[in-house]
């Protein structure tokens, strides 16, 4: 069981805190002969799989390494451009390592604002008044749990599908937020949370939650 990440949104939908607790590396390594039978493209200074997914290499994965050498953006360690290297038949066979790209800070802010919009839509779609909006989303590889306070602050936790007692965890995170953020006289509800005591206590609570889930499984 694992707790992947936590997001805290302000009452206007802005991302004011995000913490990745458990990361899963998705990496696939494969040796290719010439010509390369997948299509790569350059996007945001990275080499991305655009077409021809196979053997665990999926569209959207980025190229991480060539022949065991980590990439520097779109270049090899010696400064040679990856696209030029892969276009040269004499460089084959070649070993390529692909992986899922990490979310940037801008990506996380965009996703948070997107969820907030989705949350408001869900409230509008409700056939009755005073709907609490989205509290839970389930996919085959994760679950997203949500909790909104009376002041409009939203807490989101992404976990493994079988993670237990997440509702209790959401309220514990809210208690930490109230104890270490709200009691700070220099903090306002729209400000990013930058509090060492909040973060250290949050990590401790998450570790305790995972341990208790393993012991009761």
Residue 63's Cβ-count burial label (10 Å; 0-12, 13-18, 19+) is: buried
In this structure, which CATH number among 3.10.20.740, 3.40.50.1010, 2.40.100.10, 3.30.450.70 belongs to the domain 3-23+104-216? 3.30.450.70
Distance CA 47, CA 117 (A): 31
Number of helices (H), then strands (E), belonging to the chain: the values are: 4, 11
Local confidence pLDDT in tens for the 217 residues of the chain: 689 999 999 988 899 999 999 877 778 999 999 999 999 999 888 999 999 888 889 898 999 999 999 998 899 988 899 999 999 999 999 999 999 888 888 888 888 888 888 888 888 888 877 777 788 889 888 999 998 888 889 999 999 988 888 999 999 999 999 998 888 887 877 889 988 899 999 999 998 888 876 666 5
Is pTM beyond 0.85? Reply is: no
Domain boundaries of the chain, sorted by first residue: 3-23+104-216, 27-99
Give the pairing of strands 27-32 and 94-99. antiparallel
Mutual angle of helices 196-216 and 166-177, in 10-degree steps: 160
Q: How far apart are CA 64 and CA 25, in angstroms?
A: 12
Query: The CATH number of 27-99 is which of 2.30.42.40, 2.120.10.30, 2.60.40.420, 2.40.10.220?
Result: 2.30.42.40
Q: How far apart are CA 105 and CA 93, in angstroms?
A: 36
């Amino acid at each position: 069981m694992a707790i992947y990440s936590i997001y805290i949104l302000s009452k206007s939908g802005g991302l004011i805190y995000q913490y990745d607790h458990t990361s899963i590396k998705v990496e696939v390594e494969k040796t290719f002969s010439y010509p390369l039978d997948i299509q790569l493209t350059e996007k945001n200074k990275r080499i991305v799989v655009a077409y021809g997914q196979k053997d665990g290499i999926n569209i959207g994965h980025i190229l991480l390494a060539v022949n065991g050498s980590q990439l520097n953006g779109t270049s090899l360690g010696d400064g040679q451009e990856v696209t030029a290297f892969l276009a040269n038949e004499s460089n084959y066979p070649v070993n390529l390592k692909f992986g899922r790209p990490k979310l940037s800070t801008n990506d996380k802010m965009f996703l948070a604002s997107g969820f907030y919009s989705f949350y408001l839509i869900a409230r509008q779609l409700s056939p009755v008044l005073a709907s609490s909006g989205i509290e839970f989303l389930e996919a085959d590889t994760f679950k997203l749990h949500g909790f909104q306070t009376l002041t409009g602050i939203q807490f989101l936790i992404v976990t493994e599908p079988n993670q237990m007692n997440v509702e209790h965890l959401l309220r514990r995170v809210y208690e930490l937020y109230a104890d270490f953020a709200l009691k700070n006289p220099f903090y306002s509800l729209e400000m990013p949370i930058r509090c060492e005591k909040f973060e250290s206590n949050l990590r401790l609570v998450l570790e305790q939650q995972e341990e208790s889930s393993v012991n009761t499984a």
